[in-house]
Amino acid sequence: MPSWRSWHRPLVVFSAVMALGAVVSAVGLAVDDRVLVDAPIWAKPFKFYLSFTVYGLSLACMLAQSTRGRRTGWWAGNVVVATSLVEMAIITGQVVRGKRSHFNVETPFDQALFTVMGITVIVLWAATLVIGLLLLRTRFADRATAWAIRGGVVIALVGAGIGFLMTLPSAEQRAGGTESPDAIGAHSVGVPDGGPSMPLTGWSTTGGDLRIPHFVGMHALQLIPLFLIALVVLAPRIARFRDAGLRLRLVRVVTVGYAGLVALTTWQALRGQPLIRPDAVTLVATGVLLVAVAAGVGVALRRPPAPAPGQQRSEPRESEPSFRSKEFTP
């Protein structure tokens, strides 16, 4: 991997600020006993700060791989930083006020803040799309690296896009119900926000929760490249993983399987079904996905490894995924 000095510096600094914010939020969780929507009031900023920390570092590293449109990528990274800082300032400020940040239309001021957040999220998504398009055009020496980075970015964009579904009025709100008169939009499907939830994540245990596919999708940005890195780390001990062709096939299977997982969790949430209480149809779909991934892995492993050098006509060989790049300059 390249030195962090070649990464997009504003995103690196941004991630450090987000990590500091996570520490502050953790202190808030320990000393502030206020509860908002049946959850500790500092839980939301804590999770957002952590998520933005890894998100910013991932984009900073990936931008260093881009060989085309580097100035465009640099500015897109800056837009990600600016919009994310605005969003986190609103989330944190609302916590200090003891108010909801998301879906809150209780007063004109709260509604204005939520509107600004919506705009920043749209601009943030668009900036990430620009980065993704640049990575799609980048030529990588190792095809498995290309698949891992591009697949991770595309699935992350889909996962981020699922967040827009949360801003739509729920069925109860469209029907004019009085359960959430001061809110438009919701995380949960089929039940009001709040109520029984899973520890740490806060995901609903009584209804669907769109935060699940949102979370799963966005973190493809880290998990798929990490899978490839794990294969490379294991290569000195497991000879099969030294084959670039096998790594490529396995990354392809994992990428397609991960996309299937995002689709499955989205479908389950939209049906108003808790993650931990799947019905028979969801269990069958999960089984089909697992069998398909297992079959893909089996096929990938059964293919013979590439011949050693000297056994046939010399051809260019794919290089190890090194994530090398030139010094990043706008």
8 A C-beta contact, residue 84 and residue 14: yes
Count CB-CB contacts under 10 A for residue 108: 8
- Alpha-helical (H) ranges within 98-188 are 108-137, 143-166, 171-174
| Contacting residues for 160 by C-beta, under 8 A, at least 6 apart | 124, 125, 128, 214, 217, 218
pLDDT at 294: 97
pTM of the model: 0.85
pLDDT at 68: 78
Instruction: Answer yes or no: are the C-beta atoms of 125 and 53 closer than 8 Å.
Output: no
Nearest residue to 207 (alpha-carbon basis) of 149, 277, 105, 265:
277
Per-residue pLDDT tens listing for the chain (330 residues): 455 667 899 999 999 999 999 999 999 999 999 999 888 999 999 999 999 999 999 999 999 888 778 899 999 999 999 999 999 999 999 999 999 998 888 899 999 999 999 999 999 999 999 999 999 888 888 899 999 999 999 999 999 999 898 988 877 777 765 555 577 888 899 888 888 889 888 899 999 999 999 999 999 999 999 999 999 999 999 999 999 999 999 999 999 999 999 999 999 999 999 999 999 999 999 999 999 999 999 999 987 766 655 555 444 444 455 554 444 444
Enumerate residues 6+ apart whose C-beta is below 8 A from 103.
Answer: 114, 166, 167, 180, 183, 184, 185, 186, 193
- Token duo for residue 269: 């949430």
DSSP letter, residue 120? H
The one-letter code for the residue type at 111 is: Q
**φ, ψ at 299 (rounded to 5°):** -65, -40
